[in-house]
Structure 1
Amino acid sequence: MELFKKEQYYNKKQQLCYTSIYQKYYDNPPVWVALELMSYGTFVMFVEHYYSDVFFNKDNFKMSNELLKFAKNIRNKSAHSSPLILFIKPGKAINPFLKEQNKNYIKLSESQLRVKRIHDIFATFLLHKTYCSHGVQENKKEMLNDYKIRLHRTKDYYSSNIDIKRFFTAINILIDKLYQY
């Protein structure tokens, strides 16, 4: 099973060995083990498959089905130390589900929502707001407010660049609308 590939290793004598999780759960893994071992990309594919082929609890998975692939973009940028502020010109595509969420509550401008990084950060924030506990949200709320303070401290650096200004204005709107209650 591909899922357990990382749970196999060779010892010093070049003998194939297995971790305890592999030995205990290989034949019949519970869902939590599968989720623990999946890569983020595999998890996204799992949710998309579940949403399209399973009809139990479908409403609870609509948002994750629509938005996880965009959160994955932010995760990959972060994991590989790629700056989010590169390539922040407005593009063409907007996810219809995200556009509807924006229209109903957040109200970013269309040019802001067409910036892929803003679009993907918005998706990540919505997923966080929907699926994370209140305690986790409170913790991140404090961290995001500290970020806003740092951001405003250096406002003069980017005040003449429309793209950077658009990006940071959108980030401020997202933080204010999603994390102020």
Structure 2
Amino acid sequence: MDMIKREIERNKNSIYCGDLFKKYPEHFPMWVFLEMIPFGRMVSFYKFCGERYHSDIMRDRHFLLKTCKEIRNAAAHSSCILNELRPGSKMYNSRYSVMKELAKIEGISKAVRTKRMSNARVQQIVTLLYTHNQIVTSSGVHKEARVLLQKFSERMVKNIHYYEKNDLIMANFCFLKMVIDSWYEA
């Protein structure tokens, strides 16, 4: 609990959260609490709520959010996300819910799903895309994500001939394009 208090205290003079801290110095509403804590702490809090209310859905989503946190941190710190695409680098098994949704995509066999999702980076990207579809409820946000992801999908294969001698890049780009095109169709 002291760690959470310290994290919230750090926001006292923040240009982003300072006014909220001043407005609610002692007892702030839940939305303010969620604004004040780091994303990783929010994921832990979500898990706590899932356990407290015996919610299997929340517990499952907690693991999805943890995966999202990993790729979010990599992106935030300018890590090279697509620098290693070989199969077999995953740290844990993909969530059943993600694999079940992937199984619905025409043209992706079980063998391909298993192989592509055995790469930690691809697993994180696909899990992020799946989680967005499951958790975000705003149709406007979904529409904007669809537009941006379709542009990304097109950009990914725009010069695919550059990689024609690299089967690993070709296979992963094609897999990700199929996922994006299926889950975020125009």
- TM norm structure 2: 0.81
User: Match for 2:71: what amino acid?
Assistant: I
The runs of 5 or more residues in structure 2 that have no matched partner are none
Change (3 A) 1:20 1:151: closer
Alignment of 1:112-131 (within 5 A): 112-131=116-135
Structure 2: how far apart are the matches of 1:73 and 1:19? 27
The answer to whether the 8 Å contact 2:12/2:22 transfers is no
User: Match for 2:163: what amino acid?
Assistant: Y
Structure 2: how far apart are the matches of 1:173 and 1:64? 23
1:68 aligns with 2:65: yes
Structure 2: how far apart are the matches of 1:146 and 1:86? 21
Deviation at 1:59, TM superposition (A): 5.4
1:149 aligns with 2:154: yes
Partner residue in 1 for 2:145: 140
Q: RMSD of aligned C-alpha atoms?
A: 2.2
Which residue of 87, 91, 94 corresponds with 1:90?
Answer: 87
Query: What secondary structure sits across from 1:83 in the alignment?
Result: coil
The answer to whether the 8 Å contact 1:7/1:21 transfers is no
Deviation at 1:44, TM superposition (A): 1.2
Deviations 1:37-69 (A, max 9, x none): 1111111111112112223xx355254223011
The runs of 5 or more residues in structure 1 that have no matched partner are 10-17
Structure 2: how far apart are the matches of 1:111 and 1:27? 51
Structure 2: how far apart are the matches of 1:166 and 1:45? 35
The answer to whether the 8 Å contact 2:64/2:131 transfers is yes
Partner residue in 2 for 1:4: 8
The answer to whether the 8 Å contact 1:35/1:43 transfers is yes
Which structure has the greater CA radius of gyration? Answer: 1
Partner residue in 2 for 1:49: 48
- TM norm structure 1: 0.83
Structure 2: how far apart are the matches of 1:52 and 1:101? 25
Query: What secondary structure sits across from 1:147 in the alignment?
Result: helix
Q: How many residues align?
A: 170
